Amino acid sequence: MMTKTAPEMSLDRHKIDLLYRRDEIEVRVQELGEQISKDYAGTTPVLVGALKGCFVFMADLARAISIPLELEFISAASYRNGAEQDDTIAVGPAPTLSIKGRDVLFVEGVVDSGRTAEAVIQRLKIDEPNSIEIVTLLHKTHSSKLSFPLKYVGYEIEDLFVVGYGLDYSQLYRNLNFIGHVREFEK
Ligand code: IMP
Ligand code: MG
């Protein structure tokens, strides 16, 4: 991991270190938006965001894309059944916007094991889009090989628990305007 000289933050019960500043995220998101605008020129893609974690990234990414687009949201939540491998992913409800024959960009805040993204992709494929690709702000590279490609990745990160810019720890810290690493879970 790249260590940065950063203000150490103690927010509520958790110690959070800065990973990516707001201004550097802005530059990276702009790059992703420009790349998507080039790749999808001549089409009107549908961005489908995974709630809740995508909400800040989606807002910035959509405005960094210069071609016409439509927006949709889908909820995806994983429930832990004890061991990590037993998590079940609840996807739904289905998007109200029809994606049949459309070029879909599935927008995630963070892809870790890839199981959430995989479950959503399976669900979206039922509606027969013309194409479907994944955009994620963060990808944890420690994970075993994903069974699908991540076409657009903001940052590859280590196995760190990250918060901010939409991402939460127990529903907290989504409103931080930077991406931080939760270093201490309890005081
Ligand atoms: P995956 O299914 O293992 O890829 O995990 C993806 C989902 O877990 C994301 O949509 C997040 O909701 C959550 N998640 C995974 N890692 C983190 C993290 O570091 N911070 C916050 N949420 C995370
Ligand atoms: Mg979460």
State the CATH number of the domain containing residue 108: 3.40.50.2020
Is 10 within the bounds of a domain? no
Cα first-last separation, the chain:
24
What is the whole-number distance in angstroms between the Cα of residue 14 and the centre of ligand 2?
16
Length of the chain: 187
Is 13 within the bounds of a domain? no
Does the pLDDT of residue 5 top 50, yes or no?
Answer: no
Which residue range forms the structural domain that includes residue 91? 23-170
Let me know if 107 is exposed, middle or buried by CB neighbors in 10 A (0-12, 13-18, 19+): buried
Q: Give me the helices (H) in the chain, please.
A: 22-39, 55-64, 115-125
Q: Which of 12, 87, 112, 159 is catalytic?
A: 112
Is 94 within the bounds of a domain? yes
What is the whole-number distance in angstroms between the Cα of residue 68 and the centre of ligand 2?
30
Does the pLDDT of residue 174 top 90, yes or no?
Answer: yes
> Which ligand ends up closest to the CA of 117?
1
Query: Is 112 marked active-site?
Result: yes
Percent of the chain with pLDDT over 90: 73
Pairing mode of beta strands 179-184, 162-163: antiparallel
Looking at residue 80, what is its pLDDT?
60
Please state the rounded mean pLDDT for residues 23-52: 97
Task: Specify the number of domains making up the chain.
Answer: 1
pLDDT-wise least confident of 19-33, 57-71, 89-103, 125-139: 89-103
Is 119 within the bounds of a domain? yes
What is the whole-number distance in angstroms between the Cα of residue 109 and the centre of ligand 1?
8
How confident is the model over 66-86, as pLDDT tens digits? 999 999 999 987 766 554 555
Please state the rounded mean pLDDT for residues 10-21: 83
Q: Model pTM?
A: 0.89
How confident is the model over 146-168, as pLDDT tens digits? 888 999 999 999 999 999 999 99
- The 8-class DSSP code of residue 152 comes to E
pLDDT, the chain, mean:
88
Is 114 within the bounds of a domain? yes
Q: The tokens of 58 are what?
A: 């989606």
Is 1 within the bounds of a domain? no
> If DSSP states are collapsed to H, E and C, what string results for 16-58?
EEEEECHHHHHHHHHHHHHHHHHHCCCCCCEEEEEECCCHHHH
In degrees and rounded to multiples of 5, residue 124 shows phi and psi of: -70, -35
Is 150 within the bounds of a domain? yes
Ligand 1 probe mutation, 136, 167, 178, most atoms within 8 A of CB? 167
Is 178 within the bounds of a domain? no
In degrees and rounded to multiples of 5, residue 117 shows phi and psi of: -60, -40
